[in-house]
Amino acid sequence: EVQLVESGGGLVQPGGSLRLSCVASGFTFSDHYMDWVRQAPGKGLEWVGRTRNKANRYTTEYAASVKGRFTISRDDSMNSLYLQMNSLKTEDTAVYYCGRSIPYSAHDVWGQGTLVTVSS
Amino acid sequence: DIQLTQSPSFLSASVGDRVTITCRASQGISSYLAWYQQKPGKAPKLLINVASTLQSGVPSRFSGSGSGTEFTLTISSLQPEDFATYYCQLLNSYPLTFGGGTKVEIK
């Protein structure tokens, strides 16, 4: 079964850090681009960023709202995707989803999401 | 950045109705648009890829059309399980923006 499972969410104070993980199974993880998408409570979807595959040198793209604070990485040997979140703000409170993609194509597989709450 | 504007933001409809949701891009994006369905507490589900390609396993009552700046998602005969929020997403230019969403509720 093709599956993505996120973990690592929780409560963190403003200015703090958190690292999310997304473990893939059932497909060749290394072939795919992988994205993070978030959804604040009661709000719409917001694309956070992307890591390309090895063939495209694992290059990354970020939304302006997180650039310089968040870092996306991956470990193809572990079929894992990561989101390192630093200098967290209250407006980063959201459910964070990982999603599978290929260039110029949609996210066809999504994880179940992990909730990050930034609050004092 | 390219903006996506969905309309309407809210739609009230009955079972069996034909429903159309529009997504307009602030500049031409060829066919690089996707449509997702999201139910409360669940991850989004891909319905339509690159404007008109029905994702495997999605019922044929869903269809997508358009290119350039105007796109539509049509549900030919609304079913009880279709009451959800629908989003469009840009696929060819960063940031990969989502539209604001259209909530489809029971009339």
Mean pLDDT on B55-69: 98
**B101 with A113: Cβ contact below 8 A:** no
- Write out pLDDT tens, residues A73-117: 999 999 999 999 999 999 999 999 999 998 999 999 999 999 999
Whether B54 and chain A come into contact, CB under 8 Å, resolves to no
- Report the distance separating Cα B20 and Cα B27, nearest Å: 21
- Write out pLDDT tens, residues B63-93: 999 999 999 999 999 999 999 999 999 999 9
CB burial string A11-46: b at 16+ within 10 A, e below: ebeeeeebebbbbbeeeebeebbbbbbbbeeeeebb
**B49 with A108: Cβ contact below 8 A:** yes
Q: Which residue has the tokens 């973990």?
A: A7
Q: How far does the CA of residue A119 sit from the closest CA of chain B (Å)?
A: 21
Whether A78 and chain B come into contact, CB under 8 Å, resolves to no
Whether B23 and chain A come into contact, CB under 8 Å, resolves to no
